[in-house]
Homo-oligomer: A and B are copies of this chain.
Amino acid sequence: MKLKVKLLDLEAGGKFIVVLNREDAEDLGASGLSRVKMSSGSKSMAAIVNVAVESVPRGYIGIYNEVKKYFNLKDGEEVDVEVAQFPTSVYYIRNKLNGKKLAYEEILEIVKDMVSGVLSEIEIAAFVTALHTFGLDLDEATSLSLSMVETGKKLDLKRPLIVDKHSIGGVPGDKTTLLAVPIIAASGLTIPKSSSRSITSAAGTADRAEVLMPVNLGIDEMREVVEKTNGCIVWGGALDLAPADDIFIRVEHPLSIDPLLLPSIMSKKKAVGASLLVVDIPTGRGTKVKTIGEADLLAKDFMELGRRLGIKVRCAVTYGEQPVGYAVGPALEAWEALNAIMGRSQPYDLIDKAVHIAGMLLEMSGKSESGCGWEMALEVLKTGRAEEKLREIIGAQGGDPKIKPDDIPLGSEKITVYSRRKGIVLWIDNASIVEAARLAGAPKDKGAGVLLHKKIGDKVSEAESLATIFAERAGKLERAINIFEDFPAIGVGDRMNMLIHEVRERPVAKKAFILER
């Protein structure tokens, strides 16, 4: 059926929706919520059908912005519409629902149909749920990784050796990448680092880096920066390395499940052409992975999946019981990282983590012939070569290479939290710190966040300051401070205080879900 385009100026958060006149829909045999195949020029897609009585006359097709953009449509243009064939990939999803293992060709078909809009949210949600409940074995994880690479763009750097690092996330304030990438690039290795924005955290690496430089680079711009500087720190979202992953995340987030952790990470590393990779697995009560045993098992899977994809993987199981460094929130973290790389401050844990992760890659690549990579990395940091490289990258990405920590605007609304007793800091609750930072406005308000003044093991006097909360708006500061009052985020006591709290009635378990990966 030939129909004339009527642009509707409506958006549905990424879904492909078209509106047919009720009678045209009936003639086509497509009623509400079914799918049509729509073609224009050489492109075609499957779109969800809504119907209208008068607002879309017979012979016309109402077009949502997502569809307009895909085809680059204009009002009045003619397009071809037919009832969509029932996608074979749905049969494969049904097989997974019944516990069957899927083959590569089947998974590829599912991922392709997902990316081209053929699958509905119901089908995608069922697939992700089945992956969560039945689990996926390494064959399926490999197939998923390769399918996600297959359906995305590739970086195609003409370099013999490409390395990468990745944290599975979960520990607040983790600005390690802002130090590790410059150290690695300054050592002569090529590291095309793409990062994500925050989903459930207070800041993603892309949010942190954006305080220092533009990060919304396309894949060609990214290639230019890496060819010039050996490294980059860009947002992955504009690169289209694995568009399937954005769709998976849209489903995983409301359900708080994350069965695609491994394929999601590994597909992007494959797409940038990495052959050496260090995966950071922060471990501790407030992170994704609670125990070292669990971390080791996950590491094994990463290494095996890497082997199948032709990527040599080593994992760093790291301490994650408290934020890394003192700052949590985009601007605060960028400020802390810039100070640290300039040698103006010494957040020891941050530096230790950065040089060890950089060091592992230096060892794997054979750059550190002594065999002690972290010492070599520390040397690169201390001599200022890392700072120089960071500024080079900032400049190449279009930022101000002369940026000073004082240039970074922090939230003007702030309040400091004081200890009610003297003692030492016994624990810091990551989830509460993140919640406070988010209530204060992070990551959207870049100046919002939490700056710790004490960390675990530090001595505290009565009424000494523990942390300062920053916000850009007074109302948000108010909300954030309440969290500190309701759920103490920092525990101060004597070394022998064994009781954390009493459980007197059925407790409400607040469980934070960490999707960043």
Interface residues of A (CB under 8 A from B): 8-15, 19, 22, 31-34, 49-55, 62, 64, 90, 93-94, 97, 99, 120-126, 128-130, 132-134, 250-251, 254-257
| Nearest neighbor of A94 in chain B, beta-carbon distance | B256
Could you tell me the distance between the alpha carbons of A52 and B9 in the complex, rounded to whole angstroms?
A: 6
Residues A10 and B255 in contact, CB atoms below 8 Å apart: no
Residues A120 and B254 in contact, CB atoms below 8 Å apart: yes
Distance of A68 from chain B, by nearest CB (Å): 12
Report how many copies the assembly holds: 2
| Nearest neighbor of A509 in chain B, beta-carbon distance | B91
Chain B neighbourhood of A93, CB < 8 A: 255
Distance of A91 from chain B, by nearest CB (Å): 9
Residues A255 and B123 in contact, CB atoms below 8 Å apart: yes
Could you tell me the distance between the alpha carbons of A130 and B31 in the complex, rounded to whole angstroms?
A: 28
Knowing A129-B97, A133-B97, A255-B126, say if A9 contacts B120 (CB, 8 Å).
Answer: no
Distance of A256 from chain B, by nearest CB (Å): 5
**In the complex, which of the residues B11, B97, B255 contacts A122, with contact meaning CB atoms closer than 8 Å?**
B255
Could you tell me the distance between the alpha carbons of A250 and B34 in the complex, rounded to whole angstroms?
A: 11
| Nearest neighbor of A49 in chain B, beta-carbon distance | B13
Residues B13 and A31 in contact, CB atoms below 8 Å apart: yes
Could you tell me the distance between the alpha carbons of A13 and B52 in the complex, rounded to whole angstroms?
A: 11
Could you tell me the distance between the alpha carbons of A132 and B55 in the complex, rounded to whole angstroms?
A: 40
**In the complex, which of the residues B22, B53, B124, B254 contacts A90, with contact meaning CB atoms closer than 8 Å?**
B254
| Nearest neighbor of A513 in chain B, beta-carbon distance | B94
Could you list 13 further interchain pairs (A-B, Cβ under 8 angstroms) beyond the known A11-B32, A125-B129, A133-B133?
Answer: A9-B52, A9-B53, A10-B19, A10-B51, A13-B32, A13-B33, A13-B34, A14-B32, A50-B64, A99-B133, A122-B125, A126-B128, A129-B133
5 shortest interchain CB distances as A-B pairs:
A13-B32, A13-B33, A125-B125, A9-B55, A129-B129
| Nearest neighbor of A35 in chain B, beta-carbon distance | B254
Could you tell me the distance between the alpha carbons of A32 and B15 in the complex, rounded to whole angstroms?
A: 10
13 contacting pairs across A/B (C-beta < 8 A) = A9-B54, A10-B19, A11-B32, A11-B50, A11-B51, A11-B52, A12-B50, A122-B122, A122-B251, A123-B255, A126-B128, A130-B133, A133-B133
**In the complex, which of the residues B52, B129, B251 contacts A130, with contact meaning CB atoms closer than 8 Å?**
B129
Chain B neighbourhood of A32, CB < 8 A: 11-14
Chain B neighbourhood of A10, CB < 8 A: 19, 50-52, 55, 62
Could you tell me the distance between the alpha carbons of A269 and B32 in the complex, rounded to whole angstroms?
A: 29
Residues B134 and A125 in contact, CB atoms below 8 Å apart: no
Distance of A83 from chain B, by nearest CB (Å): 14
Chain B neighbourhood of A8, CB < 8 A: 52, 55
Could you tell me the distance between the alpha carbons of A24 and B330 in the complex, rounded to whole angstroms?
A: 25
Distance of A88 from chain B, by nearest CB (Å): 10
Chain B neighbourhood of A129, CB < 8 A: 97, 125-126, 129-130, 133
